Structure 1
Amino acid sequence: MVEDDQGIREILEIFLTSENYDVESFGSVSEFIHRDSTVTPDLYLFDVMLPDGSGIALCQQIKCNTHYVGVPVIIMSAHAHLGHINDICQPDDFISKPFDIENVLEKIENIFI
């Protein structure tokens, strides 16, 4: 997960961990880029507006990388709309902020059905 708002990042991490998900979170694109890239996650969750880049650009990079074929990407945003984002990076789902935490869990679970 890449989310620059520390409060949102912590809430999502605590909640998803309590739902038995292993969560690795980052506050910036730079932190994400310097992660252990040998680990392939089951899902990416990116905020659109980040202090040093964009979740949309990260989505594009993931979707174009053959190493990550089939790994779903969910985009979160308070300002962008799915239609605009879909034209650029084709995420597997979209979460509009503010969000209901149960809705986030539902969207994540639906990815794997």
Structure 2
Amino acid sequence: MRKRICVLEDNDDIREIISLILEDAHYEVFAFATVDSFFKRSYNILPDVFLLDVMLPDGNGIDVCNALKVDGKTKNIPILMMSANYSATDVKTNCKAEDFIPKPFDIDDFVNRVAIYAKA
């Protein structure tokens, strides 16, 4: 069974590129554009990794990260945060994400980081 990745990214182009990159790396990808649609996803979709953008139109990825880390069903699933406007220090100070990927990202580094946490 392929590893599952849940992506929360509001930018259509970036979300599509991330989905294509991860699908090409043999992941099953569930992509969401808004916090609302992300939280309305079926809890049957429990991924191996969450990949969250920080700045979103209807919320903040840091708040989503914090909510996932206190939920009994998702608290042990690794979270990777992404942002062009926040630093790793900003993110790690405000949530317990396992890693931070700055945008724009190097594709090989991106895939390698996802793979590290998908295997955990």
> What TM bracket, shorter-length normalisation?
over 0.9
Which runs of 5 or more structure 1 residues have no equivalent in the other structure? none
| Larger strand percent | 2
SS at match of 1:41: coil
Matched, 1:66 2:66: no
Deviation at 1:88, TM superposition (A): 1.5
Give the 4+ runs in structure 1 shifted more than 4 A: none
Tell me the TM-score normalised to structure 1 length. Answer: 0.94
Q: Structure 2: how far apart are the matches of 1:55 and 1:83?
A: 15
For residues 16-61 of structure 1, give each alpha carbon's deviation from its aligned partner in whole angstroms, at most 9, with x where no partner exists. 1111100000011111011112321110000000000011111000
What's the % identity of the aligned pairs? 35
1:103 aligns with one of 96, 100, 109: 109
Query: Secondary structure at the residue paired with 1:68?
Result: coil
1:36-47 alignment to 2 at 5 Å?
36-47=42-53
* 1:6 corresponding residue in structure 2: 12
Q: What's the CA shift for 1:94?
A: 0.4
Tell me the CA shift for residue 69 of structure 1.
Answer: 2.8
Residue in structure 2 matched with residue 18 of structure 1 by the alignment: 24
Aligned equivalents of 1:6, 1:102: Cα separation in 2:
21
Match of 2:59 in 1: 53
Selected match of 1:27 from 29, 33, 42:
33
Pick the aligned partner of 2:93 from 87, 90, 101. 87
TM-score (norm 2): 0.89
Query: In 1, distance between residues paired with 2:42 and 2:9?
Result: 18
Does residue 77 in structure 1 map to residue 83 in structure 2?
Answer: yes
Aligned length: 113
Counterparts of 1:100 and 1:82 in 2: how far apart (Å)? 16
